[in-house]
Structure 1
């Protein structure tokens, strides 16, 4: 009985934490002191609060129209949302399962990572410390750059927090577009985005390796780093080729390379852009959609199906042989349970994106503002992947479409993780096999 209660508490606390933050944010954004133009509409207040807590970055209201108090509420929600998902996912995915049977224990290897500290209080303290360290360092580095353009220390801190939490909100006029050729600003922002998207476990693993407390990275960290680097490089090459004579036309060679890497990095859940997404070619927008759908890594501030899920599905596609019961990668056996779990994440994600896309298409058609299917899919994937990139249609959507995107953001940030938590650890242990179901594929 105690096990069932514990698992129920994990899922309930997760949902309660995020819904509570969203509700509080909605109320605060509805107050007159939050905006310069009077009270915000309820649907816009709900949208802004959800986008902040789910660290997405999509917005129906210009961040610059918020008062300083409103901007403080916004960045506080981003910080609490980012820290919340890191803490919940790290504690759940990488905590040892002590109160389970011997038979079940054999199937829980996917949840644990060896050589990681498991004490709850220590993990929370380290997460807060690492987060604060990255954000403060980023703030101090970019402050001189922003101060030359008339921005304050608060703007620097806001940008650093938003970047590390992969949120994409900005108090900068035109966001990062005015700093397209500012190398330091671009590099620091990309580093913050990447570090926030790798996840606490990977960052801790790298630190322990640098400190020579261990001889090699865990298999999980190795997959995350190799997949992340590969996606960044391949994405940058594709964006450079596709936009060289289009969105990047007229830019210097160095600026084109920097813009290509920035677009590749930000597409995986950050939400900043140095080039307007509406100016990208259809091919480049499609590449962006793929990167947004994949997203960041487990235990991070980013969303999407996660790099490890993508890696595992790629592994299955390239190495699966009929009749083989186990996949082997780098001398490690990948159990069928892991494959089933990854497939479930992908299918759920596709269903969510398709459902939201259909709602957008129908709602805007009825509202007299029909959308192209590419635009609707881009917006839906951006919301689900908690990315925040937009072709520019978000503020003009109908209330129904905005609520659909709110649902997508919540499901992409909280829903998939909540569904991954078993409803009960008291499931029946199977001592006998069920008859095999043969299906032609």
Structure 2
């Protein structure tokens, strides 16, 4: 396929993907506006309904109202369904529906799935879809069963199973909504719940292509370069994040005196996992040290893996740029890893992604400094933290979201949308330019850098 045709095709698919997410948000907003979505006598403004639907569809978890108390079971289930569809991609459910009805999947649908899951080849569509649906079902049902061991004795069979199901879905989808009212703060001494939650968060954020490679390793006896880079970067970020947070938080000294070493370690590990777009917390974020907040903001910016339930610039982008920097420092022209060479297109795309993401977040931060009020105990991090959290579809907050102005809510919603759909997809969908190939190449000339 020529470059011109590829650009035109991507333009069309981008517009369809953006339109699909907008339709899903609209439907979610209408459902949350229904009388039985909230308790009797409790109303929700249109802006708050729209914000909640956007946050759920973009699997962020930032909330302007308390999910546990403001919404009824119906409203909570609407949020859960929106998060599930938003995490796996609405095209996944469209393909599932086609399979149930035994209808043939058209080429345009396959192309949409390919783009939404960041697949390299169109031939991977059907096989990957089986893994997406199968793994999602396995992890969430398995997670529900593991949570039920703890939650059923605590809450009873009916509510215990409901809470187990809800928390399993939200953990795997990296959504961040909870029905406890305080996220997981009341479970910070329950190592079992935290460990199961972390497993689900990592499973959802690792990416379906990586899971397919791991499950087929016994047959292929090899992993793709994408999977190797993802696993290396993910493990490195977990270890480095844990060590840095362990140091900056002084072994979580903000926990009550007498808290065991095991509990402190599990909570520190959880603190390094949840910024990878999960949004669940075991302690108030506003009470963390400045160094810890800085580490968390870096982790939120990087995010998870392409083709997963996570957001951010993605681990592969960060990994490519790290190897690019190392190669440049060593004076090497090629960027290599695991006996493979990264293409120049990969490197250029990674650089462009980071640059565009930085510009978007800089503009958003500047606008919010003019529209929002910063408390005396905080500085610019009060706004920047929220910007990174929304763009990375994380859901962590220092307290700004519930107090956002109308303009502030619109900015945060836009960031959540761009973070979930993808900055390239969003820009292509908004652009009205005509795809064209430049036939003129001008002479090359160097400029001073650094």
**TM tier, shorter chain?**
0.7 to 0.9
Task: Give, in angstroms, the shift of residue 140 of structure 1.
Answer: 0.7
Distance 1:182 1:368 in 2: 33
Q: State the aligned residue count.
A: 417
**1:34–1:69 CA contact under 8 A, matched in 2:** yes
Picking from 28, 31, 35, the partner of 1:28 is 31
Q: How does 1:178-189 map to 2 (within 5 A)?
A: 178-189=186-197
Q: In the alignment, which residue of structure 2 is the partner of 1:104?
A: none
Picking from 102, 105, 119, the partner of 1:94 is 119
**1:86–1:199 CA contact under 8 A, matched in 2:** no
Picking from 53, 78, 82, the partner of 1:77 is 82
CA offsets 1:139-166 (integer angstroms, 9 cap, x no match): 0110121123214312111111100010
Q: In the alignment, which residue of structure 2 is the partner of 1:223?
A: 229
CA offsets 1:188-227 (integer angstroms, 9 cap, x no match): 1101100100100000000001xx1111211110110111
287 and 276 in structure 1: CA distance in 2 versus 1, 3 angstrom threshold: same
1:396 aligns with 2:403: yes
1:53 aligns with 2:60: no
Q: In the alignment, which residue of structure 1 is the partner of 2:346?
A: 338
CA-atom RMSD in angstroms: 2.6
Q: In the alignment, which residue of structure 1 is the partner of 2:144?
A: 139
Task: Give, in angstroms, the shift of residue 22 of structure 1.
Answer: 0.7
1:372 aligns with 2:391: no
Q: In the alignment, which residue of structure 2 is the partner of 1:293?
A: 301
Distance 1:195 1:383 in 2: 21
Distance 1:327 1:236 in 2: 28
Distance 2:90 2:216 in 1: 23
1:428 aligns with 2:437: yes
CA offsets 1:98-131 (integer angstroms, 9 cap, x no match): xxxxxxxxxxxxxxxxxxxx25344323311211
245 and 413 in structure 1: CA distance in 2 versus 1, 3 angstrom threshold: closer
Q: How does 1:153-164 map to 2 (within 5 A)?
A: 153-164=161-172
**2:67–2:181 CA contact under 8 A, matched in 1:** no
Q: In the alignment, which residue of structure 2 is the partner of 1:124?
A: 129
Give the stretch that moved more between structures: 190-199 or 352-361: 352-361
1:313 aligns with 2:321: yes
**1:85–1:301 CA contact under 8 A, matched in 2:** no
Give the stretch that moved more between structures: 53-62 or 318-327: 318-327
**1:293–1:304 CA contact under 8 A, matched in 2:** yes
4 and 278 in structure 1: CA distance in 2 versus 1, 3 angstrom threshold: closer
Task: Give, in angstroms, the shift of residue 7 of structure 1.
Answer: 3.2
1:279 aligns with 2:287: yes
Give the stretch that moved more between structures: 137-146 or 28-37: 28-37
Picking from 244, 252, 274, the partner of 1:238 is 244
**1:361–1:370 CA contact under 8 A, matched in 2:** no
Give the stretch that moved more between structures: 405-414 or 121-130: 121-130
**2:392–2:416 CA contact under 8 A, matched in 1:** yes
Give the stretch that moved more between structures: 3-12 or 190-199: 3-12
Q: Secondary structure at the match of 2:336?
A: strand
281 and 224 in structure 1: CA distance in 2 versus 1, 3 angstrom threshold: same
CA offsets 1:67-92 (integer angstroms, 9 cap, x no match): 01001100000000011079588622
**1:31–1:39 CA contact under 8 A, matched in 2:** no
Q: How does 1:163-202 map to 2 (within 5 A)?
A: 163-202=171-210
Distance 1:324 1:420 in 2: 33
Distance 1:321 1:270 in 2: 34
Give the stretch that moved more between structures: 5-14 or 320-329: 320-329
Distance 2:175 2:185 in 1: 16
Distance 2:47 2:230 in 1: 37
Task: Give, in angstroms, the shift of residue 179 of structure 1.
Answer: 1.1
Give the stretch that moved more between structures: 375-384 or 250-259: 250-259
Q: In the alignment, which residue of structure 2 is the partner of 1:406?
A: 413
CA offsets 1:225-278 (integer angstroms, 9 cap, x no match): 111011111111111122125324522111111011101000110000111101
**1:364–1:370 CA contact under 8 A, matched in 2:** no
TM-score (norm 1): 0.88
Distance 2:124 2:200 in 1: 26
Distance 1:421 1:198 in 2: 26
1:42 aligns with 2:46: yes
Q: In the alignment, which residue of structure 2 is the partner of 1:113?
A: none
Distance 1:76 1:272 in 2: 18
Task: Give, in angstroms, the shift of residue 428 of structure 1.
Answer: 3.1
Distance 2:255 2:320 in 1: 34
